[in-house]
Amino acid sequence: MRFSPAMLQRAAKAVDKYALYVPTKGVFPKEFKVASTASGVKKNGVLDLGVILNTNKSRPSSAAAVFTTNKFKAAPVLLSRGVLEASHGKGVDAIVVNSGCANSVTGDVGLADGQAMLEMVNQNIGKDNATLVMSTGVIGQRLKLDKIQGGINDIFKKNKFGTDFSSWLGLAKSINTTDTFPKLVSSKFTLPNGKEYTLTGIAKGAGMICPNMATLLGFVLTDLPIESATLQKMLRFATSRSFNCISVDGDMSTNDTICMIANGAIDTPVINESSPEYQQVQQQVTEFAQRLAQLVVRDGEGSTKFVTVNVQNALKFDDAKIIAESISNSMLVKTALYGQDANWGRILCAIGYAKLNDLKSLDVNKINVSFVTTDDSQPRELKLVVNGVPNLDVDEARASEILALNDLEVLVDLGTGNEEAQFWTCDLSHEYVTINGDYRS
């Protein structure tokens, strides 16, 4: 096989990103074990199938998920949503996920294939209605079910499960498609009562990213005991401020799913909305989800920049978020960022056509727009528009320096209120077209 210059360049970037963003160690929640294998759906022995298993039997687990709002929902989305509805988010102890085939727009046969996947795991753990199923890859192709079933059998019969870092990293690798690096994050936290708990997150995604509920595939696992309805509310809150605030290309997948399982392995009272720890845990889960979501943007297909769009002093949070999203999704803004062109007019344009809930959130005579550096150079903030008027004295050389950075911020001050929202996006390069022009090949 001959490699094009673009492919070689992407491989070199992948090495850099792998070294920057892939951990070499981690901490993992109690009573979870994970496994991965190469089922043969992907070529050349690449990992393409994973299973997450809760082994805590001291109390029932709680599970929650947020799914795609795309009208063409993939079979795994429909099946997993059905499992959560039937179980009321209680007693879900496993997740099985494959990459290489999305099992999307596959009709009844796709539903039957997905059902066969989750039933096979249910049989192995000896429990009904206890498994969520997820798939990612090419849309419109039927699963190679014989290979998937062979892989599940291989995992359970050979007991490939582990709790060590290598096992968790293998799981993260098994769900990758066009990703250049596996996305794995883990952290320990301490409750006011002194009890420690752990959050571990895994995600995949590099393209088809602009969700309206979640993003591609992601899992957050914790050993905290959290009441199921509370967990669902907590996940929705975190998602609205993390995975719903990222954009690579403005496309929403048919398979987008973020799920969270709390297995209660930590000996502490069950957390609900009235618990004194609730606000603290919700904030920690939200910040953790933001870290995980940002890795998806950093791996954006063909991207060279990670851009934080920060909208401040809005009348309402929802409108701040709508404006941040509009800027982040603008192809003209993205290409200007790639070309290191300080074209603030494109930013104002994207703000102007944003579909706000309250028109009072935007006053064209109060708006300020700046580029903000993320390094130690000065000045940190370069004002482009002040009170709706262009800054005619803008330092173009300084603008070029900021836009040459790998990380930078676009700051918008609306001056109409006190609410703020952030979105995370990337630039749009020639390489994005190359990658997606021959995705299926």
CB neighbourhood size of 287 (10 A): 14
Question: Which tokens in the block code for residue 182?
Answer: 């596996």
Task: List alpha helices for 88-218, DSSP H.
Answer: 107-125, 145-157, 165-174
Residue 58 among known ligand-binding residues? no
- Taking the C-alpha atoms of residue 339 and residue 39, their distance in angstroms, rounded to an integer, is 42
Q: Contact, 256 vs 213, CB < 8 A? A: yes
- Taking the C-alpha atoms of residue 49 and residue 39, their distance in angstroms, rounded to an integer, is 6
Closest CA to 13 of 396, 263, 299: 299
CB neighbourhood size of 411 (10 A): 18
In the chain, DSSP finds a helix count (H) and a strand count (E) of 12, 16
Q: Which residues pair with 226 in a beta bridge?
A: 271
- Taking the C-alpha atoms of residue 23 and residue 79, their distance in angstroms, rounded to an integer, is 33
Question: Which tokens in the block code for residue 63?
Answer: 């599970």
At 136, which helix (H) or strand (E)? strand 131-138
Place of tokens 């799920």: 259
In a 13 Å sphere around the CA of 7, the CA atoms on its Cβ side amount to: 7
Active site residue 215: yes
Which distant-in-sequence residues (6+ apart) come within 8 Å of 334 by Cβ?
A: 425, 426, 427, 428
Task: For the chain, give percent helix, strand, coil, nearest 5.
Answer: 35, 25, 40
Q: Which residues pair with 99 in a beta bridge?
A: 136
* Cis check: omega of the bond before 60, within 30 degrees of 0: no
For the chain, how many residues are written? 441
- Taking the C-alpha atoms of residue 60 and residue 31, their distance in angstroms, rounded to an integer, is 12
Residue 218 CA: distances (Å) to CA of 19, 274, 302, 383 = 21, 28, 21, 37
Catalytic residue among 215, 257, 308, 373: 215
Residue 204 among known ligand-binding residues? yes
Residue 308 among known ligand-binding residues? no
- Taking the C-alpha atoms of residue 81 and residue 68, their distance in angstroms, rounded to an integer, is 11
The DSSP secondary-structure symbol of 226 reads: B
Residue 436 among known ligand-binding residues? yes
Binding-site entries = 177, 204, 215, 301, 436, 441
Positions marked active-site = 215
Binding-site entries for substrate = 177, 204, 215, 301, 436, 441
